[in-house]
Amino acid sequence: MRITISNRADVPLYKQIIEQIKLRVANSQLKPGERVPTVRELAKTLNINPATVARAYQELEQAGILGASRRRGTIVMGETDSPQRIPLRQNRLSGLVNNFILESLSQGYSPEELEAAFSLHLARWRIQREMPEATNNIEKIDVRKALHIVGSNDLALDLLVSRLKYKIPEVSVQITPAGSLGGLLAIQEGKADMAGIHLLDEETGEYNYPYIKHTLPDMEVAVVHLADRIQGFMVPKGNPKHILNVEDLKRTDVTFINRQKGSGTRVWLDYKLRELGIQPESIKGYNRELDTHMAVAMSIVRGKADIGLGIQAAANTCNLAFIPLTKEKFDLVIPIDNYNSQIFTSLMEIIRSEEFKQVVNAMGGYDTSQTGDTVFIK
């Protein structure tokens, strides 16, 4: 475990230790059951008074982050806790959440703003903990799941799934980010119950419907509008390289991070490149691909790229600057038999509720004025 401290910082040394251990646990760099250095070991490594380390460890133990093990000394708590400690952990979590809600509401934030912020930051932490590699393989779907969603990645869709699970706790949902085209193909092959798509047709300038008619010519589907959303460039705060438009991707001092082939974001970008006569091979980083907006945003946060294309909500959550480029339609494609089932009746009730729309709007970069509008295509 590598800890760095600074005597010049305004933060006391013991608090620096606490925050770094918390961050490593949150990022899964320190896992439940893993041993941390003894007080003497860490004090010797950092060349500080053991009492400083002891104070940090004491506060971390009081918070339930570290604990004592007879065999291994001080360890990270969590999933390895005994069953007897589960109620204590649940009560502590309930208290943390309650305090957070109380503090936020007392400062004038609405419940909708609170839920939006929580959903966005939870999505960011999931990516930060896992940073999964690109996964376009639709075959990985578990056929035992009750609801399979394949297609484009979207934070409003993640919120919708969370609300569905709360409303119907017994429902089991799997989301596979396979891109918009991958979602339509999964519907075609009977490997998905619903697909999220945002595909611009170059010839008509229309979103989604031409692709649905071409890919699913013999299938009746319901197309439910989830939201309009803003796509644009995500760049570090302050836009240090002064990136303004798509043409700037050709600059040799700019490193790009792309979305996977078949994603609606990639389809739009490739369309703009052709329109402007820009060759993809002239863009540094064009062939590096990630599956989600949040993964692209985190890649920029970590300095692995200067720019990526994504939605405004992802940029806001990761404290990145955002350069809006286009407004697009994000739709849900549902085979008609599924649409008429009880689970999708519940899903539609959530989508059309004013509360859901308010939370989506609070995420930033979304327009829900047509959310819930449904078109049937045969």
Q: Kindly provide the b/e burial profile for residues 322-332, where b requires at least 16 CB atoms within 10 angstroms of the residue's own CB.
A: bbebeebbbbb
19 is a domain residue: yes
pLDDT recorded at residue 212: 97
Is the pLDDT at 246 greater than 50, yes or no? yes
38 C-beta neighbours (distance < 10 Å), count: 14
Please tell me whether residues 165 and 43 are part of one structural domain: no
Q: Is the pTM of this model over 0.75?
A: no
**Helix, strand and coil percent figures for the chain, each rounded to 5:** 45, 20, 35
DSSP-derived pairing of the beta strands 307-311 and 221-235: antiparallel
163 is a domain residue: yes
Is the pLDDT at 340 greater than 90, yes or no? yes
Cα dihedral 364, 327, 152, 172 sign = positive
Q: What is the separation, in whole angstroms, between the first and last Cα of the chain? A: 59
Count of domains observed in the chain? 2
Is the pLDDT at 282 greater than 80, yes or no? yes
pLDDT recorded at residue 238: 96
Is the pLDDT at 365 greater than 50, yes or no? yes
pLDDT recorded at residue 84: 59
pLDDT recorded at residue 225: 98
Q: Containing domain of residue 207, as a range? A: 138-377
110 is a domain residue: no
108, amino acid identity: G
pLDDT recorded at residue 85: 59
2 is a domain residue: no
109 is a domain residue: no
Please tell me whether residues 246 and 348 are part of one structural domain: yes
- CA–CA gap between residue 333 and residue 220 (Å, rounded): 10
pLDDT recorded at residue 144: 36
What pLDDT band is residue 52 in, cutting at 50, 70 and 90?
A: very high
Is the pLDDT at 56 greater than 80, yes or no? yes
Per the model's pLDDT, the better-predicted residue between 127 and 11 turns out to be 11
Cα dihedral 230, 114, 368, 190 sign = positive
User: Are 341 and 137 a contacting pair, CB within 8 Å?
Assistant: no
- CA–CA gap between residue 304 and residue 255 (Å, rounded): 8
Tell me, what CATH number does 145's domain have?
Answer: 3.40.190.290
pLDDT recorded at residue 5: 85
pLDDT recorded at residue 79: 62
- CA–CA gap between residue 53 and residue 281 (Å, rounded): 52
Q: Where is the domain boundary, 61, 76, 91?
A: 76
pLDDT, tens digit, 9 for 90 and up, residues 160-213: 999 998 888 888 999 999 999 999 999 999 999 999 999 999 899 999 999 999
